[in-house]
């Protein structure tokens, strides 16, 4: 929402009688302030306090109330603060120029304020349209994913293992889609992706640490596949398959790379698999487009998987941690 120094125009814009009443109020306050200042200072410009009144009246009410406040300010300033006070005439040449300059300047202020209102309204309309477009896209996407899941369940009913793996991957993508939609289509944060994938498991055994990075949609979906595969394997064969195993997920950024480390410990002994599963082959191919690579070490104490992706072409939004904080995102 566009604001004017904290003034929320959508919330405060008035119309009709309220707008003109507000303009009258602004002019009255400006006149009172000018009178108060005149008690202590002699050489104050007669119309100095009326310019803010014109500005606020125009911002809140539009052209009509803004011009009304300008006219009231001119009348009050002319009658009360031009010599001789409380008289209309005579006016010196300098006073005439001062009055004309005030009116011209006020009209410029009214025009500028109205232009700002128009721009704000257009931006609000564009924002509403974008939100509607994202909501409609999200609705269609969910329907398509549900349809695809139904087709897969039907076509692969004779191969339940492949069917379940594909459906779980689609579920992971759908969860990340929800995160992207929540961010109005801008992407998803790394910490939210990892948390979504590990939420079904015992969170007391999971540590997540790293700076807040908003990944663009395409890379966010790829990372969700990768973490889904790691979490699934940990639940089947690794640290999450037992009662005491732990997982630590850490990432760091060094332009243009983001480095990740998935570390399992206190789980059952692991060994290098004889073949790569469907999920492993899928996300390895997906990482290629981001210049990524994976280094998996099946140590006796648990899997240690390190991987990195390049952010050169994806232009992420990286939020620096707060002063004194070691990690912008950390859970234990």
Count the domains in the chain.
Answer: 2
Strand, coil or helix: what is 230? helix
pTM exceeds 0.75, yes or no: no
221 and 112 within one domain: no
327 and 191 within one domain: yes
Is residue 149 assigned to a domain?
no
120 and 24 within one domain: yes
Does the structure show a pLDDT above 50 at 4? no
Structure tokens at 75: 């009348």
CATH number at residue 267: 3.30.565.10
pLDDT score of 56: 92
pLDDT score of 75: 92
207 and 323 within one domain: yes
201 and 327 within one domain: yes
Is residue 147 assigned to a domain?
no
Work out the mean pLDDT of the chain and round it to a whole number.
78
What would the mean pLDDT of 14-35 be, rounded to a whole number? 88
Q: How confident is the model at residue 250 (pLDDT cuts 50, 70, 90)?
A: very high
216 and 88 within one domain: no
193 and 120 within one domain: no
Q: Please answer whether residues 313 and 195 qualify as being in contact, where contact means their C-beta atoms are separated by less than 8 angstroms.
A: no
Is residue 177 assigned to a domain?
no
Provide the domain limits for residue 88.
Answer: 3-124
pLDDT score of 106: 93
327 and 197 within one domain: yes
Residue that terminates a domain, selected from 104, 124, 144 = 124
Q: How confident is the model at residue 236 (pLDDT cuts 50, 70, 90)?
A: confident
pLDDT score of 107: 93
199 and 325 within one domain: yes
203 and 68 within one domain: no
Residue that terminates a domain, selected from 89, 124, 159 = 124
**Best mean pLDDT range from 210-224, 243-257, 268-282:** 243-257
| Concatenated DSSP letters of 98-121 | HHHHHHHHHHHHHHHHHHHHHHHH
Q: For residues 217 and 329, which has the higher predicted lDDT (pLDDT)?
A: 217
201 and 115 within one domain: no
Is residue 163 assigned to a domain?
no
Q: Find residue 135's DSSP bridge partners.
A: none
Q: For residues 210 and 286, which has the higher predicted lDDT (pLDDT)?
A: 210
**pLDDT of 159-211, one tens digit each?**
777 777 676 666 666 766 676 666 566 778 888 888 888 887 887 888 999 99
> What is the percent of the chain where pLDDT is above 70?
74
What would the mean pLDDT of 265-282 be, rounded to a whole number? 71
Strand, coil or helix: what is 307? strand
Return d(Cα 2, Cα 8) in angstroms, integer.
7
pLDDT score of 331: 54
Is residue 148 assigned to a domain?
no
**pLDDT of 117-173, one tens digit each?**
888 888 888 877 776 666 666 666 666 667 777 777 777 777 777 777 676 666 666
117 and 20 within one domain: yes
Instruction: Name the residue with tokens 């899997």.
Output: 303
Q: For residues 130 and 43, which has the higher predicted lDDT (pLDDT)?
A: 43
Sorted by sequence, the CB contacts under 8 Å of residue 229 that are 6+ apart come out as 277, 279, 280, 282, 283
pLDDT score of 324: 43
Return d(Cα 70, Cα 62) in angstroms, integer.
12
Pick from 121, 98, 155: which is nearest to 15 by CA? Answer: 121
Is residue 151 assigned to a domain?
no
Is residue 313 assigned to a domain?
yes
Is residue 54 assigned to a domain?
yes
Does the structure show a pLDDT above 50 at 6? no
Q: For residues 151 and 20, which has the higher predicted lDDT (pLDDT)?
A: 20
Residue that terminates a domain, selected from 73, 90, 124 = 124
């Amino acid at each position: 929402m566009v604001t004017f120094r904290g003034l929320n125009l959508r919330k405060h814009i008035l119309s009709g009688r309220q707008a003109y009443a507000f303009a009258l109020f602004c002019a009255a306050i400006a006149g009172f302030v000018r009178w108060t200042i005149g008690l202590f200072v002699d050489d104050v410009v007669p119309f100095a306090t009326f310019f803010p009144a014109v500005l606020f009246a125009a911002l809140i009410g539009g052209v009509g109330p803004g011009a009304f406040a300008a006219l009231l300010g001119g009348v009050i300033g002319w009658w009360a603060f031009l010599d001789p006070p409380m008289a209309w005439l005579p006016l010196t040449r300098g006073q005439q120029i001062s009055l004309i300059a005030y009116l011209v300047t006020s009209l410029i202020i009214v025009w500028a304020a109205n232009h700002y209102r128009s721009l704000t309204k257009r931006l609000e309309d564009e924002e509403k349209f974008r939100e509607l477009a994202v909501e409609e896209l999200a609705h269609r996407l969910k329907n398509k994913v549900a349809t695809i899941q139904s087709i897969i369940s039907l076509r692969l009913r004779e191969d339940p293992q492949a069917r379940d793996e594909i459906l779980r991957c689609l579920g992971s993508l759908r969860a990340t889609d929800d995160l992207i939609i929540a961010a109005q289509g801008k992407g998803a944060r790394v910490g939210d992706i990892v948390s979504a994938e590990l939420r079904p498991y015992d969170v007391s055994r999971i540590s997540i640490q790293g700076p807040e990075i908003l990944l663009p949609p395409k890379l966010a979906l790829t990372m969700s596949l990768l973490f889904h595969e790691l979490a699934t394997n940990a639940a089947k064969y690794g640290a999450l398959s037992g009662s005491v195993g732990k997982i630590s997920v850490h990432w760091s950024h060094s332009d243009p790379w983001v480095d990740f480390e998935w570390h399992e410990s206190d789980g059952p002994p692991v060994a290098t698999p004889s073949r790569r599963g469907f999920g492993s082959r899928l996300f390895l191919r997906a990482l290629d487009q981001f210049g990524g690579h994976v280094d998996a070490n099946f140590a006796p104490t648990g899997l240690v998987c390190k991987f990195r992706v390049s952010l050169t072409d994806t232009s992420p939004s990286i939020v620096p941690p707060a002063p004194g904080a070691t990690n912008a995102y950390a859970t234990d």
